[in-house]
Structure formats: structure tokens, C-alpha cells
Amino acid sequence: MTNAELNELKKRYVANGAASPATQFADRAENAVIWDADGNRIIDFAGGIGVLNIGHRHPKVVEAVKAQLDKVMHTCQTVMPYEGYVKVAEKLSQVTPVRGHAKVMLANSGAEALENAVKIARAATGKNNVICFDGGYHGRTFMTMAMNGKVAPYAGDFGSMPGNVFRAPYPVPYHGVSEDEALRGLKMTLKTDANPRDTAAIVIEPVLGEGGFYPASASFLKAIREICDEHGMLMIADEVQSGFGRTGKMFAIEHSGVEPDIITMAKSMADGMPISAIVGTDVHMDASGPNSLGGTYTGSPVSCAATLAVLEVFEEENILERSMALGEKLGKRFAQWQQDFDCVDNGRHLGSMAALDLVSDKANHTPNADLAAALCKRAREKGLVLLSCGLFGNTIRFLMPVTIEDEILEEGLAIVEESLKELVGQPATA
Ligand code: PMP
């Protein structure tokens, strides 16, 4: 079917489908390129939203999935366990930098991982409250919507949210929130609203994702660790977007040397197969009663096979080093654009978790969300998927596969440059 025909079906039958601006339907994909239903070639700088760090349909993962399909497609792991689940648990326990000996629960999505992390923290501490951060994003289930600091457009239409969630400022010096101020805010939250005696956990993204790609400093993360220890609260690092090699380490928290109690992960775990994980210190992971964790599909055998293949690819193809190298390249290009364009500001990256801001006034960091939307639209017309994010909607984030070929990376970056040039009329010399 053509894009036009599929769009008609989407409008008629897909919930909320008419509201989505995307009109090209993916027909097939390979590494960093997608071909749509009309045969158009599109470069993917979104990686399915950070899911494809090793590229679309990595051959090794495809092979592992096919082999698993010939063995077992599904059993519920609490009813009839299978090798893939325990192997994934063993491997993740070894590579995830949580305190002490780690145990693992698998789920299906990022939001489910956060839901279960909170359940585990409540069971482990016997306390109810969680503290989350301004600008944070954790998912679209009710608990995670309540946890989100970034509320629009996710929670506005859905009535009241679960309680026991409190908020603290995330340090973003570029927008005037210093680390000291953020810490003061956190301490104030603990003093006034979320009594530490009732608080089970602090949940933090080591790099703010949907909220604008801002890494927290090592000293801030260390302070959170200390506050958690002081008050018997668990530190939960949400690495759903920053994990699995995006920042040049397996997990972003490794840049700080801090060991949280629990890390949640999902994107890029299985090259697009649905799976997520909650990895935490064994005493906490074992705290709840028998059969209290899990679900029909959690950690499907097929997704587990994909995850094991992804972990092998990380070793064999030096994905972490390549992530660092890609980030360096992007950082240089951002610096060039900042010189060339009055509207480009605040280029930043931790490994290849990279972003820049579009502004109408550089001196005052005035966000220009309209330009960001226009840039993404123009880029799409020229054959590039580009995504914005951030509290002000003016951040352009770069989440292309780490394995992207040099020529395709250059081609995509040239599209960004040309689109910007067309939109703001300044020369791009890079
Ligand atoms: N946490 C973070 C940090 C995320 O970036 C996301 C997704 N963008 C989620 C949780 C939710 O993941 P999912 O969409 O798989 O539920």
C-alpha cells in the first residue's frame, strides 16, 4: 500500500492517529536508513527514539531472533522458565553498576521498568513516597505520568494522578538552575513535603532525556547518593534513554562513579524488540513477596535472545568507543554551527547523547520552539528524521545509530545545515 492509502487507514482506525504529524510509513530499514511505503529513502537520526544504538536490524540480532523463533516463542517465565531470561539476568547483573550483587527483573517497556522499580523500592524500605525531578520523563502509565516533571502533553487529559510523588529541581545551569540551587530545592522538598521517614526513593535520570539532554554532574549525583544513604532511601537511576552505550559507557551513571541501588533500562537493549529491565541490589530485588513481580509477557524469550545478541555486538564491534567517537564528531559540528548560525546555541554531548538548542536571542538563551518544529519538518521533507525535545521544545536531539556509516552521517548533517540555511538565511560554511 502507498503512504497516502495507509494515512487514510490511520486516520480512520488508529486511536489519536489523526493527531500524529508523521505521514511516511516505514516499509523496510537497514542500519541508519529507512525506506517508506512509496520507496523514499530516509536517514534516521532518531533511531526509533534512541532504541537503535546498533542500527536497524543488526544481522546478528536478526539471526538470533530467527533462531529463537524456531525454538520457543513464548512461555510465561513464572509458569515455565527458559534459558534466555536467566542468561540475560546473569549478563545484566555483571555489566550494571549497582551496589553489591545485582539481581534482575525483566519487563516490556521503560514505563513498566519504572513502575516496578518503585514497587521494589517501596517493598525494600516499607515507605511510600518517591522524589522525582523537574523536566524528568518516566513514561505514560499512571504512576509514571505522576512522576514526570515534563507534564505536557502526556498527563493533561487524564484526570487525577497517583499521589506520593514529590519533585525537586534538576540542575540546568544554562537555564539558570545551578547545582547548589537544585540541591537546596531537594533538601527543601525533603523538609517540607516528602518526609524522608516516608520516602522510599529518589528517581533521577543521570542525563535528563525528554527534558532536554542535560547531564547531571558527578558531584550532584554523589550528593543524591549521600542524601539517600543518610535517610535510608534508595537511589534509582532511570537509564531508559541514557543506557546501553548511548553516552559512551554502558550506563551514563558510570561517568560519575556513583553506584545507585537500582538502574532501569529499556531502549537499545534488544535492537527494537520490546524489553526492559530493573537491575538492583539483591536484598532490595528480593524484598517483595512470592510471585509479586512479573507479568504475562515480561522478558519474552524472543526479546531475551535479541538482548543477548546485542550484548555480543557491543563487545565485538566496540560500540562504546564508537559512541564516544560519534559524540566527538557531533560536538565539533555543533561548535561550527554555533559560529555559523545566530540561532544555534548550547551544543552539548555526553558520548553520543547529543543535542543543541535553537534560540531567537543567544545572549538570553531565548528558546525558539517554532524554529525547532520548522527544522524537523524541513529535514523530514529532505529525507531525514530529526527529533526535538526539551521543556521549551527548542532542543534538537541526535540519536542516530552509533553504527551509522560516515557518508550517511555526513549526508544527514548536511540536510540539517541546508534546512537551517533555508529557514534562517545564513551561510553554512562547515
Ligand atoms: N524513562 C525515560 C528516561 C525515557 O526516556 C522513557 C521514554 N522516552 C521512558 C522512561 C518510558 O519508556 P517507554 O516509552 O518504553 O515506556
| pLDDT tens-place string over residues 273-302 | 999 999 999 999 999 999 999 999 999 999
47-65 pLDDT tens trace: 999 999 999 999 999 999 9
Ligand 1 pocket, mutate which of 143, 267, 387 (most atoms under 8 A from CB): 267
* Statement to judge: residues 26 and 162 lie in one domain: no
Q: Which domain holds residue 118?
A: 61-316
On whether residue 197 sits in a domain, the answer given is yes
pLDDT value of position 430: 46
Greater model confidence, 412 or 154: 412
CATH number, residue 38: 3.90.1150.10
Ligand 1 pocket, mutate which of 109, 240, 244 (most atoms under 8 A from CB): 240
CATH number, residue 126: 3.40.640.10
Any atom of ligand 1 within 6 Å of the Cβ of 137:
yes
Any atom of ligand 1 within 6 Å of the Cβ of 241:
yes
Alpha-carbon gap, residue 115 to 289, rounded angstroms: 16
Residue tagged 540480532 (cell numbers): 61
Any atom of ligand 1 within 6 Å of the Cβ of 150:
no
Any atom of ligand 1 within 6 Å of the Cβ of 200:
no
* Statement to judge: residues 312 and 322 lie in one domain: no
* Statement to judge: residues 311 and 325 lie in one domain: no
| Atom of ligand 1 at shortest range from CA of 264 | 1
Q: For residue 427, name the pLDDT band (cuts at 50, 70, 90).
A: low
Contact 97, 251 (CB under 8 A): yes
End-of-domain residue from the set 316, 351, 384? 316
* Statement to judge: residues 108 and 200 lie in one domain: yes
Indicate the number of domains in the chain: 2
pLDDT value of position 429: 55
Answer yes or no: is pLDDT of 164 > 80.
Answer: yes
Neighbours of 164 (CB within 10 A): 16
Contact 301, 82 (CB under 8 A): yes
- Mean pLDDT of the 149-160 span: 86
CA of 328 to the centre of ligand 1 (A): 25
* Statement to judge: residues 23 and 74 lie in one domain: no
pLDDT value of position 7: 94
Closest residue by Cα to atom 1, ligand 1, is: 138
Any atom of ligand 1 within 6 Å of the Cβ of 50:
no
Alpha-carbon gap, residue 197 to 359, rounded angstroms: 43
* Statement to judge: residues 169 and 196 lie in one domain: yes
| Atom of ligand 1 at shortest range from CA of 210 | 5
* Statement to judge: residues 236 and 323 lie in one domain: no
Ligand 1 pocket, mutate which of 112, 138, 297 (most atoms under 8 A from CB): 138
* Statement to judge: residues 17 and 143 lie in one domain: no
On whether residue 429 sits in a domain, the answer given is no
* Statement to judge: residues 48 and 65 lie in one domain: no
* Statement to judge: residues 403 and 284 lie in one domain: no
Any atom of ligand 1 within 6 Å of the Cβ of 209:
yes
Instruction: State what percent of residues in the chain have pLDDT above 90.
Output: 94
| Atom of ligand 1 at shortest range from CA of 139 | 11
- Mean pLDDT of the 247-261 span: 98
Q: For residue 26, name the pLDDT band (cuts at 50, 70, 90).
A: very high
Closest residue by Cα to atom 10, ligand 1, is: 138
Any atom of ligand 1 within 6 Å of the Cβ of 210:
yes
Alpha-carbon gap, residue 260 to 184, rounded angstroms: 21
* Statement to judge: residues 306 and 330 lie in one domain: no
* Statement to judge: residues 38 and 77 lie in one domain: no
Alpha-carbon gap, residue 62 to 263, rounded angstroms: 27
End-of-domain residue from the set 276, 301, 316? 316
296-334 pLDDT tens trace: 999 999 999 999 999 999 999 999 999 999 999 999 999
Predicted structure pTM score: 0.97
On whether residue 169 sits in a domain, the answer given is yes
Between the CA of residue 61 and those of 129, 306, 313, what are the distances in Å?
40, 5, 8
Q: What is the mean pLDDT of the chain?
A: 96
